[in-house]
Amino acid sequence: MAAIVARALVKHFSQEIKAVDGIDLDIPEGQVFGFLGQNGSGKTTTVRMLTTLLKPTSGSAEVGGVDVLAHPERIRRSVGVAMQEVGLDEVQTGRELLTLQARLFDVPGPVARTRAGNLLDVVGLAGDADRPLKGYSGGMKRRLDLACALIHEPRIVFLDEPTTGLDPITREAMWRYVEDLNKGGVTFFLTTQYLEEADRLCDDIAIMDRGQIVAKGSPEALKSSIGTDAITLGLGSAEDAGLAEPLLRRFEGVDSLQVQGAQVILYLKNGAAAVAPLVLALAEANVKVEDLRLRQATLDDVFLRATGHHLETGDQGQGRL
Amino acid sequence: MRFLRDTILLMNRALREAIRQPANEIGNAFIPLFFYAVTVGAVGDVAREAFGVSDYKGFQLPVAILQGAAGVAGGAGLAMTLDIQSGYFEKLLLTSTPRLAIVGGRMLADGVKSVILCTLIVAMALAFGSGFETGPVGMVALVLSGGVFALCYSGIGVAIALKTGSPQAAQAGFLLFFPLLFLAPTFAPLDVFATWLEVIARANPVTYILEGMRALVTGGWQWGSLLKGSAAILGMGVVTWTMTAMALRGRAAGG
């Protein structure tokens, strides 16, 4: 059974602002599905529609087999959500907040208290459980927020940029936790700006750009769709790149290429074997190669190919693999 | 049943918040007690001669009750905006709790805080030498009516908070109370008012609330005044709760 299905889902805030512009989703149970895109691409709006916080302008969606418009209260009972902005009541302690959260999901009192204690332990906050949240660090709040999303043991969990702003150690811990839960059958719908996160966690990925899904598939399939390897050529100038482009497009084995200023990125199956003939061909055409790098294709390459621009995360070093 | 249980859970959360951040509550207690002491001190001795009120301490007690209750009732709207801004309100919307319980818990907490404050005000007025015609039962009725008034009045701030998400706008809901209070027989009985002011005062629901409460303190079990006062509080409640429910629906729909 599909965990999440959407058909022609649209959200327009005005004539000009088309946040989500007709997307289709089919996410099987037990999958970690990644929604990759820049800020403003429509990821969060999609999550808000699927979790009943926002009504779609048109289209339909089902979560856990339940229509989001017809039975929003049933959806809320069955899904866990951690939004991008950690929304917590800072006056309460971690234990109070989690217990209240469980009770508001109709979990009986004694069970709620036990679960809160267990989850605090799992997310590494047992020692701080009885301190007010105002003394928690950003990473601690993020972990508590994740615990809030899981306190009623949902089978489908939406995480909207769950590791944005976290330090690498906390990020790694969050990833491990998601992986463990996923092994237990929990479906995750994860939005992220981090390619590494998508590559590591996700079974399938959709790349979102300007409200539309522009590429979809498993990370491996997406990468192989553009060629296994990537050769980045630094040429003398943008004119040189323009001159070289027709030649490079005809070059044997090249699946696709991207020109960005004086830089040309070639995607091909066997990059190592292509390097020498490539340099020779360019030399014969009087195109000077100033720099050449061979590497495996990454999701960033997929993103570039699909959207025409790199994924900018605003968090240095995390966007690229 | 679920609604009631969740409302109480969320009320407890709001009360915990008040206990851990007592500054607002201290402010809410100080203002009515201060005005009560100052007004009684300034006018008390001449009240009988000026407008025929022999127990001015008792006459002013309902004013302090209403001031205190309105001050407390301003808290729910402000707290709601803080929840909205922090994102916690959205987290509550994502639970399976009935959505009215989210605002109901806050408003009920205001009612409870108001009962505590009104008890303090009554105790202070008695210590000052105020009479109380209806005795301990009347005192309980007065304190409870202060709580119900807060529960009703808090709907204004909560509705504004839900509509705007702005703390400044939500606090303006509390400021609305002052014209209502001063256009009622707050410092003197209606029969000494200028005609134009009396006309306005008679159209003001606070007049009937004040007179109903005043009957408990200085007049005895005057059922006519008590019924009118109760009707005014409940009428105000119907209006503010309707506003709140509509604003909640708008915010929960999310645009």
What are the extents of the domains in chain B?
2-252
Contact B96 A105 (CB under 8 A): yes
Q: List the Cα angle A312/A229/A208 in 5-degree steps.
A: 35
Report residues of chain B scoring pLDDT below 50: 255
- The closest of A290, A306, A294, A286 to A266, measured between CA atoms, is A294
Nearest CA-CA distance, residue B254 and chain A, Å: 5
Contacts of A92 in chain B (CB under 8 A): 13, 16-17
The span from the CA of B38 to the CA of B57, in Å, is: 11
Which residue among A51, A104, A148 sits closest to B97, beta carbon to beta carbon?
Answer: A104
Q: In Å, how far from its chain's centre is CA B133? A: 22
pLDDT for B65 equals: 95
Which residue among A54, A87, A96 sits closest to B91, beta carbon to beta carbon?
Answer: A87
pLDDT classification of A320: cutoffs 50, 70, 90? very low
Average pLDDT, chain A: 89
pTM of the model: 0.83
Model confidence pLDDT, tens digit, residues B121-151:
999 999 988 889 899 999 999 999 999 999 9
The span from the CA of A265 to the CA of A294, in Å, is: 10
Nearest CA-CA distance, residue A198 and chain B, Å: 25
pLDDT for A316 equals: 40
Contact A100 B13 (CB under 8 A): yes
Contact B2 A73 (CB under 8 A): no
Nearest CA-CA distance, residue B86 and chain A, Å: 5
Nearest CA-CA distance, residue B240 and chain A, Å: 25
Contacts of A88 in chain B (CB under 8 A): 86-88, 91
Q: Are A129 and A117 in contact (CB under 8 A)?
A: yes
Nearest CA-CA distance, residue A1 and chain B, Å: 24
Asked whether the predicted pLDDT for residue A194 surpasses 80, the reply is: yes
Amino acid at residue number A146 = L
Asked whether the predicted pLDDT for residue A314 surpasses 60, the reply is: no
The span from the CA of A267 to the CA of B234, in Å, is: 73
Q: Which residues sit opposite B45 in a β-bridge?
A: none
pLDDT for B93 equals: 94
Average of pLDDT values for A242-249? 88
Contacts of B2 in chain A (CB under 8 A): 106
Sign of CA dihedral B42, B47, B48, B53: negative
Contacts of A55 in chain B (CB under 8 A): 253-254
Contacts of B87 in chain A (CB under 8 A): 83, 85-88
DSSP state at residue A93: B
Q: In Å, how far from its chain's centre is CA A255? A: 26
- Flag whether residue B96 sits within 8 Å of chain A, measured between CB atoms: yes
- The closest of B156, B106, B130 to B213, measured between CA atoms, is B130
Model confidence pLDDT, tens digit, residues B28-54:
889 999 999 999 999 888 988 888 888
Average of pLDDT values for A30-59? 93
- Flag whether residue B26 sits within 8 Å of chain A, measured between CB atoms: no
Model confidence pLDDT, tens digit, residues A138-152:
888 988 998 999 999
pLDDT for B101 equals: 96
Q: Within 10 A of B182 (CB to CB), how many other CB atoms are there? A: 13
Identify the three-state secondary structure at position A80. Answer: strand
Sign of CA dihedral A120, A126, A129, A135: negative
Contact B9 A91 (CB under 8 A): no
pLDDT for A53 equals: 92
- Flag whether residue B2 sits within 8 Å of chain A, measured between CB atoms: yes
